[in-house]
Amino acid sequence: MIQPSDAQELCSKSEWELIKSSFSPMVEMLLRSGLKSRLDRVRKAHRKSTDLIGLQHSESRKRRMLRKTEMFAEAVNRIESTLNLVERVLSLEPFPKAVYNEKTFEETRSLDMAALRERLDRKPESGKKNLLSKML
């Protein structure tokens, strides 16, 4: 993996801003639309750098373009994985809203009180006092 400091040396200013936004925590703050937009831009930059490798005449420039291509591929992977996570979260079914039902509430409360009385009957005398004091 190419380190951010090395990546910055390989990039133009606009490329660096794009790469920088693919690192955590910035990538997690992007909305789904922002992730898709960045993913398209990074893929385009990756294709461009891949195409330019063959046009380079010196070995040092070819190595530099290979590193740049690798850097864009890593950025694509980071953004894709974040986008996949966001889409999985958005596809989950929302929890149904809790409906307050007075009758159900009272039935549950009376069952809780009955269970508490039953528990009190089983407790030794000293425990009953503590439990009763907590209730009041």
- Give pLDDT tens digits for 102-121: 555 555 555 555 665 666 66
Q: Is pTM, for the whole model, over 0.85?
A: no
* Residue owning tokens 């894709």: 80
Residue type, 21: S
Domain holding 119, by residue range, is 102-135
Give the single-character DSSP code of 28: G
Backbone Cα Rg of the chain = 30
Note the pLDDT of residue 5: 79
Considering the domain architecture, whether residues 50 and 107 belong to the same structural domain is answered as no
- Give pLDDT tens digits for 35-93: 999 999 999 999 999 999 888 889 999 999 999 999 999 999 999 999 998 888 877 75
Note the pLDDT of residue 124: 58
Considering the domain architecture, whether residues 73 and 13 belong to the same structural domain is answered as yes
- Report whether 45 contacts 72 (CB < 8 A): yes
Considering the domain architecture, whether residues 110 and 44 belong to the same structural domain is answered as no
